[in-house]
Every structure is written in structure tokens, then in C-alpha cells.
């Protein structure tokens, strides 16, 4: 006769507990008679997706993980809407507030956490909520229909996701944060500031270093007052200041409780027969607040309950990704720099990319990525394996080996080891997904999700899963997934440009609507690229969309690591005069500029300028912008040439100044640097520039596609010409051909390699084509203005420079 099934009661019907039961049902489907008590009146749903519901990415109905039928099919008795208030450990019984009771042989506590509500006077007013469950989400959706001002307290993951949702719902959103910078538990100051700048661009306001004191209003909240006497109006306050494990039930039953319910490596509590899993459990001193470790716990617990051998749960290394569209942020392990560690950083303010890896004894112990998080999964995998990365540090930091071009997302995926984790939430490896596609016939992301769970939680790994589908799908799985310019579209750069031309699309929003963007807001990759393509295609009529540009280009100055800016006036050919130098010195003194420095491109950089001082300084300098901040013509470096140098064969200074005056203010796919040398000794280093000119006897050599940055590349010789006019015409035609054919953010060095020098030569060698290209670059140039002059003389534009939010503190 079969053994009678043991009674298993679970308290809490949330993500961690139900996942553990799913494992158990696979391992030992007949072992237990299961009863679940869940305080919420819903079946198990994906709490993580509440953030997506707010931004319209999912419907509340769509986030259910296990519907009512699942409970029936698995013969689970569910008491939905029942809160268990008492455990009798002697009688082995639990009792709910609503009057139900159940006996158990095994009791599983999976009660999760509750949001911490600041005990402020007025916190009980209508309109003060947390962001934890479906009800909170519904209140936000309803409130946004009638009220305008939302305040989110807490600038952590949850607060920012709530704030982004409320912004999407049309509310004015202010985030109140106690710290000087956002997400201080996951990010360092540099990444945090870049995050803040991007969120401000999206419309969020920040009140940093603010201590909340009182919530005021009559029945409903009207505002929030701070200890410094200031206040902010609010029709809705969302508290997102952390969570506390739900331990009261366990405590009252006499279980050992610390911050969470204390468990051993087998998830056993201090009371025999009672287990705890999920956010309510504390293992080796840690109560986790992310699903990945909770699912790992669940897998171990299921084995234990099924009588399958397990080595136990040993704790988890965690990683996080902020789920805010258009903002890529990844953090794993040590983001701070504790003693005994070594840190490597890469920061590109122009493209809004920041990468940091933290090493201890040649092992990766932490990573922070902003702007480009495509290497997050690989870094996390390496970190978890604990392998030595000696000699590979630079490659891991930059995402590609030195000297090589950055790999495409597909080749990165191909290069990943089979055991690398693709879906961090569910611990699904590349090999498991490959097997699902190749052996189990999965041909869509949905089928892979059903088969492996990958992409079923936060959804952050979906692009990787799509990529694997493309790699392993081959012909067997219908249409391969196309790689678009970013996650918002499957269209390539060429397809987009062709469609803009064909349909005469004239603004960023229109392009996204007409071409069916899957994210209506776009992201930090597609918005600036569309802005560039539109400006390139319609030079006479397109109005540049400032909001689609990065901070540096919006403020026409480079933001520095401490939040100040740098000012680089244009000094044609690097040639200045005593009176110009005096003027620069006077302005530097007047505005207390902490540092004046020569740049590598022969210009003067005024560093440490406050944002609000920028327009006044530009006005007083009365010099054109050096465009040192943008995807534009930067500098034309020159040597002294035959004017002073005894080796010089030509006037390199005159040639350089002419080129700079000809092409200044030009928007290009990526930054463009020029140089002119007066003889083949090449003192101006023209052969590592985008367009380099080297004088030879009786003429000029024109070189293209050089780069002296991360990937050093010497130029290719384009041609030799005789006159200065020809230099200008060929230079203009080359730059316009590059403008019209390169991808946004693609340097000439990468573009020349991609399309091949021969194709560029073939186009430019036809005189008619060359002259037409030069004509088009002139048209584009005729419609440019100097941004500094424009802002200095326009009161409305100047307003953008008044600081609204306090700048974060400068770290020593
Ligand atoms: C908006 C939001 C976004 C998030 N995004 C992410 C993310 O991107 N990535 C990530 O890893 N994590 C994210 N999290 C965290 C993640 O959702 C939690 O870590 C996870 O849900 C915890 O699972 P759990 O089962 O331990 O607790 P829960 O999912 O909270 O489930 C516990 C359940 O137990 C019930 N309960 C409590 N006490 C009792 C009782 N006495 N009787 C009966 N029922 C009871 C509760 O009502 C609740 O339904 C997010 C959380 C939120 C709120
Ligand atoms: N994308 C994700 O992975 C994701 C998204 C949402 C939530 N979650 C998880 O949900 C849980 C809750 O998230 P959370 O952001 O509330 O927790 P958190 O503890 O990570 O962050 C809370 C933030 O509130 C700030 N804070 C504390 N007291 C404050 C005060 N009085 N005024 C203003 N700010 C104050 C803290 O400085 C901190 O940055 C966490 O476990 C988190 O990991 C994860
Ligand atoms: S490149 Fe030739 S001309 Fe120019 S400074 Fe050097 S040696 Fe003189
Ligand atoms: S990483 Fe969150 S669902 Fe895959």
C-alpha cells in the first residue's frame, strides 16, 4: 500500500515559496498534500513586473505566474486572502485570521517582506502608500487619473522604478532621497550621477540629502515637509525606503528570529519540521531581497523535502539591474572599493558609458556598468566562478580585447562559455537555453520561458535569450530574430535611414511611431541616433531635439566627475594671440576657474566650471565653442610648418586654420579630429586622426580613419592632391560621405574598416559625386549656428542653466 501523503502547509503565496513548490512537485509529485495560505487575494504573481505594469509594459492580468487552474491541477488547497496569525507548534496547526486552520507535518514559511513605512506624523493620510503589491499598483494607476504631484521617498531600485512609472502615468515626480547620490547601495558616485542626469532628462526631479519630517494635509496628503524647513507639494507619496522581513508570525511561535527567520543551509528553522524560504529567511546573517538567491534557496529546499541529496545552500552573490527604460544600469558584488581591492574604471562621458570592475587577488569581486550593460551577465558569471582574470583585466573592463574592434552582441554571445548564466533571476545557463532550442524545439522567447523559466522574472535577459534563439535557431525556427540598433526596434541603421527618407519622417517621435518602436519612449541609444539621422537627412529644416542628446551636448560643455563642467573655446589651428590669452585669463580669474589646462588637441581647457556660470562665461569669452563635448568636428591640430620650421614644405598652420573654419560646428556620427603636418616628419600626428593631412613636396597626402584612443589605428592613405582647394574639397566630401553612411556613434576608424577603404575611394574618386558631397556638406554647414552665442543671447535657453536640484557632494 502507498504511504499516506504528508501534510505540507505553506504560509505565503509569493514568488519564492511557490517556486520551491514547483521544484518539489517535479521531484516528488505524490509526496505531499499541500495547503497554501496567502494574505493577498490573488494567485501567485510576478511582483517584479509591477514596475512594468506602471509603464504600460504589462497588464495586471498578464503578470500571473501560476493561475487558479495550476493549484487545482496540482491538487493544492489555496486559502487566498487568508492571513495566518498563529502557529501551534505542539499541535502542529496553523490558524488564519479569516477562520481557516490546517494541520501540518511540514510547515513552510514564505512570508516575504513588508515595505518599511517611515513613522512620520501624517503617514496615515490618504494618498500615502508603499510599492509592494497589486493594490499599491492599482492606487498609483487610479491616482494618476485625477492628481498631478507625486513624491517618491527613497532613491533606491524600488523608488526609481516607481518614479519612472508615475512619470509615465503623466504625474510630476519628485524623488526624495536621504543620501547625496542615488542607489548608493548598488552604485558608486560616478555611475549614480550619470543615472541622475539621465533620469532628469526624462523629467524626474530630485531632492537629495533631504530628511523627511512631516506629511501634511487634511484627510488626504497635500505635501511633505523636511527637517531643513523646506517642503514639496504632493497628492501622492510613495515610500520606498527599504523592506523588513515578515517575522512576527515566526517570532510569536517561538522560532529563532534575527532580522529574518534564522535558517541553516537546508532552510530549516530552529523548530523541527518548520522551514523558511525567501525574503523572510535569514541565512548566514543575510536576508536577501532579490529573486535569484531566493530561487536558489527554493531549489535546495525542494530537494531536502523530496529526500534528494543536496549539498545545501551556501549563500549567493547577487547582481541587480534597474528596470527603467532607456537607462542601462548593472551592479554586482562589491561596488565600493574595500581595502585590499584594486579598481579599474572606464568612463566615456560623451557616450554616457561608465564601467568599473573591482578585483581582489586577481579575482573579480564587483562590477558597476552604466550605459552599456551588455557584459553584465559575463562579468557576473566570472565573479561567481571566482576564477583568476590576471592579464584579462582590460579586456573584461572594455568588453573586448585591446586592439580589436568591439564585438557585436551576437559574437559576444557566441564567445560566452556554455555554463555562463544568461538569466540571472532564474539561474538559467546558455547551455540550457541552447538545449531548449535545439532538442526541445523551442522557437520563441515565450516557449523558452515556459521550458526553462529564462526571461520569466524581471525580463532583463530577454535580449540575450533572443540572441541565442538567433544563434541556435537556424532554419529550424522560422524567422530568425533580427538585431536592431537597440532593444526598441529590430530595424537596422540602413533600414531606418531608408524609411525616414522614403516616408519623409521629420521628428524622433514620428519615426518611433511610424516604424513601430516597441518602447514608445525610446532609449539612450536610439533617441540620439534618430536625432542625428534626421539632422543629417534634413539639414535645412530639422530642428535639433536637445532632449535626445547626452548631457554634454545639451549643456555644450563636458560634465566632469564632480558635476562641474569644462569650457574649451575654439582656437583655430591651435594658434592664439596675447590679447586672446589675456581675455581667457581674465574670465578664468573672474569665475574662479580652478584649473586651466592645455589639451592634447592644442586648446585651452577651463576646468571646474559651475553649470550656472556657463552662459555668462561664454558671453564674456566671446569666442566660438570648441565643440569639445560633442559628436562634431573637434580640433584641427597643426605643426608650425614652413612659416617657422626649417623642414616645412607647406603652410600647415594656414591649411589647418582654413579646414577648421570650413568645417567647425559640423555634426558628425562620432567625434572627428583633424591634423595638418607641414612635412612627412608629421609632428602634428596626422596619421592617427580621422582626417589627416601631411605635406609632401608639391602637394598634400590625405589620410583617413585614424584613431589615437582606446583602439589605436593608423590612417589609410586616401589620395594625394596638389592644392589647398583640393584638400578642402576632398576633406569635405570624405566627411559628408562618412556622415551619410556611418552608424551613429561609429568612429571613422571603425567605419573605414567596416566598409573598406576601396568603397570610400570609389565614391570620392568620381569628380561629380565628390562635388555633390561637398555641396551637401556646405548646405549642412550653412544651417549651423554657434551654440554658445545662441544661448548667451537667449533668455529662455539660459534658464536651462539655472540649477534646480542641488549638485551631489564632491567626493574626496
Ligand atoms: C515593484 C517591485 C519590483 C521588483 N523588482 C525586482 C527585480 O527586478 N529583480 C529582483 O530580483 N527582485 C525584484 N523585486 C523583489 C522581489 O519581488 C522579491 O524579492 C520577491 O518577490 C520575494 O519573494 P518572497 O516569496 O520571499 O516574498 P513575496 O513575493 O512578498 O511573497 C510573500 C507573500 O506572503 C504573504 N504573507 C505574508 N505574511 C503572511 C501570513 N501571515 N499569512 C499569509 N500570507 C502571508 C504576502 O502577502 C505575500 O503575498 C521587486 C519587488 C517589487 C515590489
Ligand atoms: N530592479 C530590481 O532588482 C529591484 C527593483 C525594485 C525592488 N527591488 C528590491 O525590492 C526591495 C526594496 O527596494 P528599495 O529600493 O525600497 O530598498 P533599498 O533598501 O535598496 O533602498 C532604499 C533606499 O531608500 C533610501 N532611504 C532610506 N531612508 C530614507 C529616508 N528617510 N528618506 C529618503 N530616502 C531614504 C536609502 O538610502 C536607499 O537608497 C529591495 O530588496 C530591492 O532589491 C529590486
Ligand atoms: S611636421 Fe615637418 S614642418 Fe611640421 S614641425 Fe615637424 S618638421 Fe616642421
Ligand atoms: S535575468 Fe531576470 S528574468 Fe532573466
Question: Can you name the residues that pair with 29 across neighbouring β-strands?
Answer: none
Q: Which CATH architecture has domain 128-241?
A: 3-Layer(bba) Sandwich (3.50)
pLDDT tens digits, 92-124? 999 999 999 999 999 999 999 999 999 999 999
So what's the pLDDT on residue 476? 41
So what's the pLDDT on residue 805? 40
β-strands 261-263, 281-283 pairing = parallel
Q: Could you tell me which residues come within 8 angstroms of residue 63 by beta carbon, excluding any fewer than 6 positions away?
A: 45, 46, 49, 50, 52, 53
**Does the domain formed by 6-113+245-306 have CATH 3.20.20.210?**
no
pLDDT tens digits, 506-517? 999 999 989 988
- Tell me if 381 sits within 8 A of 332, measured CB to CB: no
Ligand nearest to the CA of 112: 1
So what's the pLDDT on residue 810? 23
CA of 14 to the centre of ligand 4 (A): 17
Question: Which residues define the annotated binding site for [4Fe-4S] cluster?
Answer: 639, 645, 679, 683
- Ligand 1: atom nearest CA of 96 is 42
pLDDT at 402 exceeding the cut of 50: no
Long-range Cβ contacts of 603-606 (<8 Å, 24+ apart): 603/568, 603/569, 603/570, 603/571, 603/574, 603/628, 603/635, 604/568, 604/569, 604/571, 604/576, 605/566, 605/567, 605/568, 606/566, 606/567, 606/568
Q: Which fold has domain 421-476?
A: Arc Repressor Mutant, subunit A (1.10.10)
Q: Hey, which of 39, 158, 327 would you mutate to test ligand 1's pocket, going by the most ligand atoms within 8 Å of its Cβ? A: 39
Any atom of ligand 3 within 6 Å of the Cβ of 677: yes
Of 301, 277, 302, 305, the C-alpha closest to 291 is 277
Structure-model confidence comparison of residues 412 and 444, the more confident one: 444
**Residue 439's CB: how many other CB atoms inside 10 A?**
8
Classify 149 in phi/psi space as left (phi over 0), alpha (psi -120 to 50) or beta: beta
CA of 710 to the centre of ligand 3 (A): 26
What's the complex ipTM?
0.92
Mean pLDDT of the chain: 90
User: How much is the average pLDDT of 277-289?
Assistant: 97
β-strands 106-109, 6-11 pairing = parallel
pLDDT at 645 exceeding the cut of 50: yes
Q: Hey, which of 9, 42, 48 would you mutate to test ligand 1's pocket, going by the most ligand atoms within 8 Å of its Cβ? A: 48
* Gyration radius of the chain's alpha carbons: 30
% of the chain with per-residue pLDDT over 70: 94
pLDDT tens digits, 582-604? 999 999 999 999 999 999 889 99
So what's the pLDDT on residue 114? 97
| From 661-670, 688-697, 754-763, 786-795, the region with the lowest mean pLDDT | 786-795
- Tell me if 334 sits within 8 A of 53, measured CB to CB: no
- Ligand 2: atom nearest CA of 176 is 33
DSSP H or E stretch at residue 361: none
So what's the pLDDT on residue 147? 95
Q: Which of 246-250, 437-441, 470-474 has maximum average pLDDT?
A: 246-250
pLDDT tens digits, 230-266? 999 999 999 999 999 999 999 999 999 999 999 999 9
CA of 761 to the centre of ligand 3 (A): 28
Any atom of ligand 3 within 6 Å of the Cβ of 183: no
Of 656, 664, 636, the C-alpha closest to 780 is 664
pLDDT bucket at 191, cuts 50 / 70 / 90: very high
List Cα–Cα distances, 484 to 367, 401, 467, 491, 730, in angstroms.
Answer: 27, 24, 11, 5, 33
Q: Could you tell me which residues come within 8 angstroms of residue 152 by beta carbon, excluding any fewer than 6 positions away?
A: 159, 160, 162, 163, 166, 173, 174, 175, 176, 237, 238, 240
What CATH number was assigned to the domain covering residues 319-407?
A: 3.30.390.30
pLDDT bucket at 768, cuts 50 / 70 / 90: very high
pLDDT tens digits, 296-321? 999 999 999 999 999 999 999 899 99
Phi, psi of 10 (to 5 degrees): -115, 130
So what's the pLDDT on residue 2? 64
N- to C-terminal Cα separation, the chain: 74
User: How much is the average pLDDT of 334-341?
Assistant: 88
What CATH number was assigned to the domain covering residues 630-785?
A: 3.30.413.10
DSSP secondary structure letter of residue 645: -
So what's the pLDDT on residue 516? 87
CA of 311 to the centre of ligand 4 (A): 25
Any atom of ligand 4 within 6 Å of the Cβ of 425: yes
Any atom of ligand 4 within 6 Å of the Cβ of 459: yes
CA of 644 to the centre of ligand 3 (A): 9
CA of 393 to the centre of ligand 2 (A): 31
- Tell me if 35 sits within 8 A of 8, measured CB to CB: yes
Ligand nearest to the CA of 17: 1
| From 152-166, 338-352, 475-489, the region with the lowest mean pLDDT | 475-489
Question: Which residues define the annotated binding site?
Answer: 639, 645, 679, 683
Any atom of ligand 4 within 6 Å of the Cβ of 457: yes
β-strands 106-109, 236-239 pairing = unpaired
Residues in the ligand 1 pocket, defined by CB under 6 Å? 11-17, 37-40, 47-48, 50-51, 83-84, 110-113, 131-132, 158, 161, 246, 249, 278-279, 289-292, 294, 323, 425, 458
Structure-model confidence comparison of residues 546 and 448, the more confident one: 448
Is-same-fold flag (128-241; 319-407)?
Answer: no
- Tell me if 364 sits within 8 A of 382, measured CB to CB: yes
How far is 487 from 703, CA to CA, in rounded Å?
A: 36
Domain ranges in the chain are 6-113+245-306, 128-241, 319-407, 421-476, 493-548, 630-785
Amino acid at each position: 500500500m502507498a504511504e499516506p501523503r504528508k501534510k505540507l502547509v505553506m504560509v505565503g503565496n509569493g514568488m519564492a515559496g511557490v517556486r520551491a513548490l514547483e521544484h518539489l512537485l517535479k521531484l516528488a509529485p505524490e509526496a505531499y498534500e499541500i495547503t497554501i495560505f496567502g494574505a493577498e487575494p490573488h494567485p501567485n504573481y510576478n511582483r517584479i513586473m509591477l514596475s512594468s505594469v506602471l509603464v504600460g509594459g504589462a497588464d495586471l492580468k498578464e503578470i500571473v505566474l501560476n493561475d487558479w487552474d495550476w493549484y487545482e491541477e496540482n491538487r493544492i488547497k489555496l486559502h487566498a486572502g487568508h492571513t495566518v496569525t498563529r502557529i501551534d507548534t505542539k499541535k502542529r496547526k496553523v490558524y488564519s485570521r479569516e477562520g481557516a486552520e490546517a494541520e501540518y507535518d511540514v510547515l513552510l514559511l514564505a512570508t516575504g517582506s513588508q515595505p518599511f513605512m517611515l513613522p512620520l506624523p501624517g503617514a496615515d493620510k490618504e494618498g500615502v502608500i508603499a510599492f509592494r503589491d497589486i493594490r499599491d499598483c492599482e492606487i498609483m494607476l487610479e491616482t494618476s487619473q485625477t492628481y498631478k504631484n507625486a513624491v517618491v521617498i527613497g532613491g533606491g531600485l524600488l523608488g526609481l522604478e516607481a518614479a519612472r512609472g508615475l512619470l509615465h502615468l503623466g504625474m510630476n515626480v519628485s524623488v526624495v532621497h536621504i543620501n547625496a547620490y542615488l542607489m548608493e547601495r548598488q552604485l558608486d558616485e560616478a555611475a549614480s550621477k550619470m543615472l541622475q542626469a539621465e533620469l532628469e532628462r526624462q523629467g524626474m526631479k530630485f531632492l537629495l540629502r533631504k530628511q523627511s519630517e512631516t506629511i501634511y494635509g487634511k484627510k488626504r496628503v497635500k505635501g511633505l515637509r523636511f527637517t531643513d524647513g523646506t517642503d514639496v507639494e504632493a497628492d501622492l507619496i510613495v515610500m520606498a525606503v527599504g523592506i523588513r522581513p515578515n517575522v512576527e508570525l515566526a517570532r510569536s511561535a517561538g522560532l529563532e528570529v534575527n532580522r529574518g527567520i534564522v535558517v541553516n543551509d537546508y532552510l530549516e528553522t530552529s523548530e523541527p519540521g518548520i522551514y523558511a524560504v525567501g525574503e523572510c529567511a535569514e541565512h548566514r546573517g543575510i536576508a536577501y531581497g532579490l529573486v535569484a538567491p531566493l530561487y536558489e534557496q527554493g531549489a535546495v529546499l525542494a530537494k531536502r523535502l523530496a529526500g534528494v541529496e543536496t549539498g545545501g545552500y551556501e549563500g549567493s552573490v547577487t547582481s541587480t539591474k534597474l528596470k527603467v527604460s532607456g537607462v542601462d544600469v548593472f551592479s554586482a558584488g562589491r561596488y565600493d572599493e574595500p581595502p585590499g581591492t584594486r579598481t579599474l574604471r572606464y568612463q566615456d562621458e560623451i557616450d554616457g558609458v561608465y564601467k568599473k570592475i573591482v578585483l581582489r587577488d586577481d579575482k573579480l569581486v564587483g562590477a558597476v556598468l552604466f550605459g552599456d550593460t551588455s557584459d553584465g551577465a559575463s562579468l557576473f558569471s566570472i565573479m561567481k566562478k571566482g576564477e583568476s582574470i590576471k592579464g584579462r583585466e582590460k579586456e573584461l573592463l572594455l568588453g573586448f580585447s585591446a586592439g580589436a574592434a568591439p564585438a557585436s552582441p551576437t559574437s559576444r554571445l557566441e564567445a560566452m562559455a556554455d555554463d555562463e548564466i544568461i538569466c540571472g533571476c532564474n539561474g538559467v545557463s546558455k547551455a540550457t537555453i541552447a538545449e531548449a532550442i535545439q532538442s526541445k524545439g523551442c522557437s520563441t522567447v515565450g516557449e523558452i520561458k515556459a521550458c526553462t523559466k529564462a526571461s520569466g522574472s524581471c525580463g532583463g535577459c530577454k535580449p540575450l535569450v533572443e540572441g541565442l534563439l538567433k544563434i541556435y535557431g537556424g532554419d529550424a525556427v522560422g524567422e530568425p530574430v533580427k538585431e536592431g540598433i537597440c532593444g526598441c526596434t529590430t530595424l537596422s541603421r540602413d533600414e531606418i535611414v531608408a524609411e525616414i527618407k522614403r516616408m519623409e519622417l521629420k521628428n524622433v517621435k514620428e519615426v518611433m511611431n511610424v516604424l513601430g518602436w516597441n518602447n514608445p519612449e525610446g532609449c539612450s541609444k536610439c533617441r540620439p541616433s534618430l536625432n542625428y539621422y534626421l539632422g543629417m537627412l534634413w539639414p535645412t529644416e530639422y530642428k535639433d531635439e536637445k532632449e535626445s542628446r547626452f548631457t554634454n551636448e545639451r549643456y555644450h560643455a563636458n560634465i566632469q566627475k564632480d558635476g562641474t563642467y569644462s569650457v574649451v573655446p575654439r582656437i583655430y589651428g591651435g594658434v592664439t594671440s596675447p590679447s586672446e590669452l589675456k581675455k581667457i585669463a581674465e574670465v578664468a580669474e573672474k569665475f574662479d576657474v580652478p584649473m586651466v589646462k592645455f589639451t592634447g588637441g592644442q586648446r585651452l581647457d577651463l576646468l571646474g566650471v559651475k553649470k550656472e556660470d556657463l552662459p555668462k562665461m561664454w558671453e564674456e569669452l566671446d569666442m566660438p565653442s570648441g565643440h569639445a563635448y560633442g559628436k562634431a568636428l573637434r580640433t584641427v591640430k597643426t605643426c608650425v610648418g614652413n612659416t617657422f620650421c626649417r623642414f616645412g614644405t607647406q603652410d600647415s598652420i594656414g591649411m589647418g586654420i582654413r579646414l577648421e573654419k570650413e568645417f567647425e560646428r559640423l555634426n558628425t556620427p562620432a567625434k572627428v579630429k583633424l591634423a595638418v603636418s607641414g612635412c612627412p616628419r608629421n609632428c602634428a600626428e596626422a596619421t592617427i586622426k580621422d582626417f589627416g593631412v601631411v605635406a609632401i613636396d608639391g602637394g598634400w597626402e590625405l589620410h583617413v580613419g585614424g584613431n589615437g584612443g582606446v583602439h589605436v589605428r593608423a590612417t589609410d592613405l586616401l589620395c594625394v592632391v596638389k592644392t589647398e582647394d583640393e584638400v578642402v574639397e576632398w576633406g569635405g566630401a570624405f566627411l559628408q560621405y562618412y556622415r551619410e553612411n556611418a552608424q551613429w556613434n561609429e568612429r571613422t576608424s571603425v567605419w573605414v574598416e567596416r566598409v573598406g577603404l576601396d568603397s570610400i575611394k570609389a565614391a570620392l574618386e568620381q569628380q561629380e559625386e565628390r562635388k555633390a558631397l561637398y555641396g551637401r556638406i556646405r548646405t549642412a554647414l550653412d544651417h549651423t549656428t554657434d551654440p554658445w552665442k545662441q544661448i548667451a543671447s537667449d533668455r529662455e535657453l539660459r534658464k536651462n542653466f539655472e540649477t534646480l536640484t542641488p549638485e551631489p557632494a564632491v567626493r574626496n
